[in-house]
């Protein structure tokens, strides 16, 4: 399996996908110096500067979540069916290795690569705020949960790639992610404020289908200390159940569900790849 992991890592380096995201992130981190730039240009008190740095950190964490997930999708979606169609696996599959070794080798390769990139980007974020004299540790606290984003999306894309081509597998994964995002960020407030029961059930279902909102909450509780005032607070008026629906608390089993979800997606993809003809 080590050979497959190494090959996947080499393949990822060759694609230079991470270079593209690195460039984008360097640009984004440039923005994290804005609080310092604004302070030096226009003055302002220390509290405003700290708030600016906190917002930059939160924004940076969101960017890491997004780009590491995109990177994992890009690398996973073409890992099985696309490689079969291109003929990359034609000489590898007859070798004395089980298909699960190949599948897990690819999964581990993608995950290691995505995790290494996310860690590197987190280090860049930490360095950029530390250089401004405002060191923060929240990004490191959030990192284990941020890493769940590429793991979740990469596993899903790999499972889909076991029977779909690269473009369709990535399209489905992105569509599922977009639906989960839309459901959590746009439908949830509508369902809460207008108390639409059917919509609330749909949102609940979408969270089971892709636990992105759960992941968001798991990350959020790690950065609670640097949230801007008023951010994430519940409205003062409203029925308790509606308010809880609007801003659900982290449950003890949330992390277990995310882990189970990843495991099930991994197993389903593996079984499909195990059972399919490769021609």
Partner 1 sequence: MWAIETRNLRKVYRPLFGGNPITAVDNLNLQVPAGTVFGFLGPNGAGKTTTIQILIGNVYPTAGEAFVLGHRAGALAAKRKLGFLPEKFQFHDFLTAEEFLRMHGRLAKMDRTTLQRRIDEVLELVGLAERRTSKIREFSKGMQQRVGLAQAILHDPDLVILDEPTSALDPLGRRRVREVVQYLKERGKTVFLNSHLLSEVERSCDQVAIINKGRVIVQGTLDELLVNRSVVRVELRRVEPCVLEAAAKVAQKVHPVDERCFTAEVASEDDIPELARAILDAGGALIGLQAHRETLEDLFIQTVEAEGR
The residues that touch partner 1, with contacts defined as CB under 8 A, are 2-3, 7, 10-11, 14, 86-88, 90-98, 275, 277-279
Alpha helices (runs of H) in the chain, residue ranges in sequence order: 2-15, 17-32, 34-42, 46-77, 81-86, 99-130, 138-146, 148-161, 166-182, 188-193, 197-209, 212-220, 240-246, 254-275
Q: How far is CA 132 from the centre of its chain?
A: 27
Measured from the CB of residue 103, what is the shortest distance to partner 1 in angstroms? 15
Measured from the CB of residue 149, what is the shortest distance to partner 1 in angstroms? 28
- CB nearer partner 1, residue 91 or residue 198: 91
The C-alpha atoms of residue 98 and residue 218 are separated, in whole angstroms, by: 36
- CB nearer partner 1, residue 85 or residue 224: 85
- CB nearer partner 1, residue 2 or residue 144: 2
Measured from the CB of residue 176, what is the shortest distance to partner 1 in angstroms? 22
The dihedrals phi and psi of 148, each to the nearest 5 degrees, come to: -65, -25
Measured from the CB of residue 279, what is the shortest distance to partner 1 in angstroms? 5
- CB nearer partner 1, residue 2 or residue 135: 2
- CB nearer partner 1, residue 7 or residue 196: 7
Reduced to 3 states, what is the DSSP secondary structure of residue 16? coil
The C-alpha atoms of residue 110 and residue 103 are separated, in whole angstroms, by: 11
Q: Are 218 and 258 in contact (CB under 8 A)?
A: yes
- CB nearer partner 1, residue 1 or residue 196: 1
Measured from the CB of residue 275, what is the shortest distance to partner 1 in angstroms? 8
Q: How far is CA 258 from CA 64, 129, 263, in A?
A: 19, 31, 9
- CB nearer partner 1, residue 152 or residue 164: 164
CA angle 13–17–23, rounded 5-degree value: 110
Measured from the CB of residue 266, what is the shortest distance to partner 1 in angstroms? 22
Measured from the CB of residue 97, what is the shortest distance to partner 1 in angstroms? 6
Q: Are 105 and 190 in contact (CB under 8 A)?
A: no
Q: Are 209 and 176 in contact (CB under 8 A)?
A: yes
């Amino acid at each position: 399996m080590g050979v497959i992991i190494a090959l996947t890592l080499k393949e990822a380096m060759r694609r230079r996908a991470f270079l593209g995201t690195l460039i984008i992130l360097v640009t984004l981190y440039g923005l994290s110096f804005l609080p310092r730039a604004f302070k030096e240009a226009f003055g302002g008190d220390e509290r405003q500067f700290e708030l600016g740095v906190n917002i930059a950190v939160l924004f940076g964490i969101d960017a890491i979540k997004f780009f590491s997930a995109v990177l994992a999708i890009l690398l996973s979606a073409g890992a099985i069916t696309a490689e079969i169609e291109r003929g990359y696996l034609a000489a590898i599959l007859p070798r004395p290795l089980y298909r699960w070794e190949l599948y897990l080798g690819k999964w581990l390769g993608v995950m290691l690569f995505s995790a290494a990139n996310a860690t590197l980007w987190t280090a860049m974020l930490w360095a950029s705020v530390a250089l401004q004299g405002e060191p923060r540790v929240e990004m490191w606290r959030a990192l284990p949960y941020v890493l769940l984003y590429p793991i979740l999306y990469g596993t899903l894309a790999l499972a889909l790639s076991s029977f779909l081509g690269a473009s369709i597998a990535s399209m489905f994964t992105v569509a599922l992610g977009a639906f989960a995002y839309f459901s959590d960020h746009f439908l949830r407030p509508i369902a809460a404020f207008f108390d639409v029961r059917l919509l609330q059930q749909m949102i609940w279902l979408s969270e089971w289908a892709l636990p992105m909102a759960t992941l968001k909450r798991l990350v959020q509780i790690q950065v609670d200390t640097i949230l801007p005032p008023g951010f994430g607070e519940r409205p003062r008026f409203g029925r308790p159940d509606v308010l809880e629906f609007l801003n659900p608390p982290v449950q003890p089993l949330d992390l277990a569900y995310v882990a189970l979800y990843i495991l099930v997606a991994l197993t389903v993809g593996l079984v499909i790849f195990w059972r399919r003809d490769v021609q």
